[in-house]
Amino acid sequence: MNLQPDVKRELRHIGIGCAAGAVLLSAGWGVLAAAGAGLSFGWSVPLSAALGAGVAWLNFFGLAVTLQKAVHCDSETGRRNLLRASDIYRKLGLGVFVAAMVLIPVFNWVAAAIPLLFPQLTIFAMYAFGRKTPSSKGGE
């Protein structure tokens, strides 16, 4: 299935936002640890942040593919089933990821859980900085 150019553009924006967020999170964590805020900083923090950002982007990718398929789906029942199945599988994936981050002591679960909200923060930032504005008035 080919992705629409608009969907590809949004995926690129979210990917850049997630990557930048992971770098900022690691840097901020390091600064706070150096300032004596009671946080421990090691290689597990950037690794967990990068993994979390990757999973967040994959979740957004799954959402994008599902919505594009749903728009082209003719029957309402099929559309509903598609959305429901996608939601279940994506939530299951997120659950397995968070559980793995908590249970495997090598990773830092806080640094892995925060990036899951990076796509949403990126969208807020896009609207806040005017990167995304309504291109047409629309209407009938």
Partner 1 sequence: MDFQLLAKGIALAGCAIGAGCALIAGIGPGIGEGNAVAAACEAIGRQPECKGDVTSTMLLGCAIAETTGIYGFVTGLLLIFVAPGMFMGMLG
* Among the listed residues 38, 56, 48, 50, the one whose alpha carbon sits nearest the alpha carbon of residue 121: 56
Contact criterion met (CB below 8 Å) for 22 and 53: yes
Contact 33/39 with Cβ under 8 angstroms?
yes
81 contacts partner 1 (rule: CB under 8 A): no
Asked if residues 111 and 52 have their Cβ atoms less than 8 Å apart, the reply is: yes
108: left (phi over 0), alpha (psi -120 to 50) or beta: beta
103 lies in the binding site for partner 1 (CB under 8 A): yes
Q: Which of 16, 31, 42, 91 binds partner 1 (CB under 8 A)?
A: 91
Q: Does 12 engage in binding with partner 1 (CB under 8 A)?
A: no
Residue selected from 80, 93, 106, 133 as contacting partner 1 according to rule CB under 8 A? 80
The phi-psi region of residue 86 (left if phi > 0; otherwise alpha if psi is between -120 and 50; otherwise beta) is alpha
Does 115 contact partner 1 by CB under 8 A? no
- Given 39, 58, 113, 125, the residue binding partner 1 (CB under 8 A): 113
Binding to partner 1 by residue 70, rule CB under 8 A? Answer: yes
Binding site for partner 1 (CB under 8 A): 4-7, 9-10, 14, 59-60, 63-64, 67-68, 70-71, 76, 79-80, 83-84, 87, 91, 94-95, 98-99, 102-103, 109, 113, 116-117, 119-120, 123-124, 126, 132, 134-136, 138, 140
